[in-house]
Amino acid sequence: MSAVEISPAAGTDQEARAEAARTRRNWLLSLPAVILLLFAASGPLVIVLIYSFLTPGDYSGVKWIPTFDAWTSILFSRDIFDDTLRLADAHLTIFWRSASLSLLTTLITFLLGFPTAYFIATRPPRQRGLWLFLITIPFWTNLLIRTFAIMEVIRNEGLLNKLLMMTGLISEPLQILYSDTAVLIGMAYVYLPLMVLPLYAALERFDFRLVEAGYDLYAGRWMVLRKVILPLVKPGIVAGSILVFMPSLGAYVTPRVLGGGKHMMIGSFIELQFGQGRNWPLGASLSMLLLLIVGIGLFFYVRAMSKEKAHD
Amino acid sequence: MTDTTAPRPRRKAFSVRTMPGFSSIAIVCFLALYAPIVVIVVYSFNSGNSIALWEGLSLKWYATAWQNDAVQEATIRSVIIAAFASVISTVVATMAALGTTHGGDFRGRTVIYLLINQPLMVPEIVTAVALLIFFSMIRIATGYSGLAYLIAAHAAFCVPFAYLPIRARLEGMDTMLELAAADLYATPWRAFRRVTLPLMAPGIVAGAMLAFVISLDDVIITEFVKAAGQDTLPTYMLGQLRRAITPEVNAISTILLAITVILLTLFFILTRKRSPKA
């Protein structure tokens, strides 16, 4: 470029044009994916939002009369006689069951998942891959099959009851299936890998010389665990808890199969509105509420992950 | 006074890393993860009618499942949907990966990322409800009620699963090779076909396999989107679980499990990072 003198302005102009061309090319390449997802994943969510502000139709579907009824009926029911609002106990029971079972699932998966992740992280590096693979296989296998498998185990004639009767702990088989306990066992079983994987990621990077330092300073095992290890892998704990809590809250298959018809959680409650309940707007507002809660959870998840990265 | 000459009970050397009880809990967890699955697989070979009593080895329930028209149709439907969905999602995901990975940031990249990852973030039941409403609108407007709805829905939620391994492969690729091809007067298309594409291939195959597994296993979205008589294997199973369960379900589960485990093992072999040469 020695012969031709290019003004700085022309240079930036050219750069801007190249930049625009690159952006256009990248967008064109991504366009089919964008269209597919807008059509069959993200776009329809807007319709759900709109439906949540409409009036239920006579048999199913909606009437185009705008109202906030679907949102207020999440928590309140209108008295048919004097039109006053009162708390909808049936709904509250379902929300309470969803929230408490999801929290308990998170707690159980943590109590079991932390030692498991710790165990994998303290294996010799060459073995870790295999152990991790053993955790990942159930994670990718069909959720329905895993739910069905745990159902087989906790049935009255199942493996669990057989074992308990053989050891003489019980004489009559325990009726676990179709109860909240069954849903809890099922969700803990199904979501355990989601807890182990992020915990392992955090523990793998943990510097075990810090534990040694703790012992040198006369800390006991419990002290080291509580004051050294747990605080340093906290982002992994937060990430794992959110990864387990969110799908538990929106779970549909596991509560439906293991809980029977009576022990409903939000997921089955939403489905009911589109089936026998025939209240599409209520189903829509419940879906949006679930989405909102998950959105908040996701926000904290992203924050925990960026903190984790900042550690490196 | 303790006798110091007597042999002391052997104690394991104090290890900094071990926490008492952790290993036992871990082993129990691994056993608990696999025991129920093993029970299903074992009882699928039971010759008796019961799913609780072992009466001997046989392939009876596989034969029963195979001769069941509903199972056959559901199997064919599942495979058709998974095949279409994995091809479509892999093609669009490959293009998107090329668009979003090569050469730095650009305006709107975050939007594309968010869209692609949407199926991983939004609860499946919410997407299922949204698709139920949206597709029933289209159904009424067009009168069409074929498999295309299921294929479109599956293709969409498979995109992130196809995209992630492809992107990981592209990010680990040496861009110098493409530049070298260009230096050797290869046209961009030729450079892409002869250099970039072969290098991407393992990522693309891995992505397609993952998408296939995810589509094959889907329950919730399929359950909401399917029209009457459009059961896939998982939704057929879900229907069966409400009735008296026969070992036929065990046989179907075992086959689905086998497909998943085989494809996943291949996936891990394909995406395994080569250990750095010392």
Domains in chain B and their CATH numbers? 69-271 (1.10.3720.10)
Question: Which residue in chain B has the smallest CA separation from A249?
Answer: B123
Q: What residues contact residue A77 under an 8 Å CB cut-off, 6+ apart?
A: A85, A86, A87, A88, A91
Residue A1 confidence (pLDDT): 42
> Angle at the Cα of B273 (from B268 to B275), degrees rounded to 5?
125
Mutual angle of helices B148-171 and B109-121, in 10-degree steps: 120
CB A22 within 8 A of CB B88: no
**A231: buried, middle or exposed (CB in 10 Å: 19+, 13-18, 0-12)?**
exposed
CB < 8 Å to A41, chain B: 115, 118-119, 122, 127, 156-157
Supply the pLDDT for residue B138: 94
CB nearest B256 (choices: A142, A150, A225) = A142
Considering only residues 2 to 21 of chain A, which have any Cβ-Cβ distance to chain B shorter than 8 Å? 19
CB contact under 8 A, A271 and B125: yes
Q: What is the pLDDT of residue B17?
A: 75
Q: Tokens representing A240? A: 């794992």
The SS3 call for residue A78 is strand
**What pLDDT score does A261 carry?**
73
What is the structure's pLDDT at A193? 94
pTM strictly above 0.90: no
Residues of chain A with pLDDT under 70: 1-11, 79-80, 308-312
Among chain B residues, CA nearest to A36: B156
What is the DSSP-derived secondary structure letter of residue B12?
Answer: P
pLDDT in tens, B130-150: 999 999 999 999 989 889 999
Is the CB of B257 less than 8 angstroms away from the CB of A145? yes
User: What residues 60-89 of chain A have any CB closer than 8 A to a CB of chain B?
Assistant: none
d(CA A34, CA A46): 16
A266: nearest CA partner in chain B: B125
**Would the CB atoms of A116 and B30 count as touching at under 8 Å?**
yes
Q: Which tens digit of pLDDT belongs to each residue from B8-24?
A: 555 555 677 778 889 99
Question: Is A112 in CB contact (< 8 Å) with chain B?
Answer: yes
* Ramachandran class of B57: left when φ > 0, alpha when ψ lies in -120 to 50, beta otherwise: beta
Nearest CA in chain B to A282: B129
Q: Of A34, A118, A189, which is closest to B112 when you measure between CB atoms?
A: A34
B18 Cβ under 8 Å from any chain A Cβ: yes
- Joined together, the tokens standing for residue B157 give 């939620």
Instruction: Give dist(CA B236, CA A32) in Å, integer.
Output: 32
What does DSSP say about strands A76-78 and A85-87: parallel, antiparallel, or unpaired?
antiparallel
SS3 category, A56:
strand
pLDDT score of B11:
52
What is the tens place of the pLDDT at every residue in B169-221?
A: 888 777 778 778 878 888 888 888 888 888 889 899 999 999 999 999 999 99
Q: B3: pLDDT confidence band, cut at 50, 70 and 90?
A: very low
Residue among B100, B129, B163 minimizing CB distance to A274: B129
What is the C-alpha to C-alpha distance for residues B241 and B249, in angstroms, rounded to an integer?
Answer: 8
DSSP A84: -
pLDDT attached to residue B46: 85
Q: How far apart are CA B249 and CA A275, in angstroms?
A: 26
Q: By the CB < 8 Å criterion, does A225 face chain B?
A: yes
pLDDT given at position A215: 85
Put simply, whether A204 touches B (Cβ < 8 Å) is no
The verdict on a CB contact (< 8 Å) between A144 and B237 is yes
In the prediction, which pLDDT does B270 show?
Answer: 84
Q: What is the model's pLDDT at position B154?
A: 97
pLDDT tens digit string along A198-225? 999 999 888 888 888 888 888 888 888 8
- In the predicted model, is pLDDT for residue B122 greater than 70? yes
Number of A/B CB contacts below 8 angstroms equals 248
Tell me the mean pLDDT in the region B16-39: 89
> Across chain B, what does the average pLDDT equal?
86
Statement: residue B6 has pLDDT above 70: no
The CA-atom distances, in angstroms, between A90 and each of A83, A95, A278, A287 are 18, 9, 17, 17
Which domains does chain A carry? 89-311 (1.10.3720.10)
pLDDT value at residue A9: 57
Q: Please indicate if any CB of chain A lies within 8 Å of the CB of B266.
A: no
Residue A253 · residue A147 · CB < 8 Å = yes
Contacting residues of A for B28, CB less than 8 Å apart: 112
Task: Give the minimum alpha-carbon distance from B184 to chain A in angstroms, rounded to a whole number.
Answer: 23
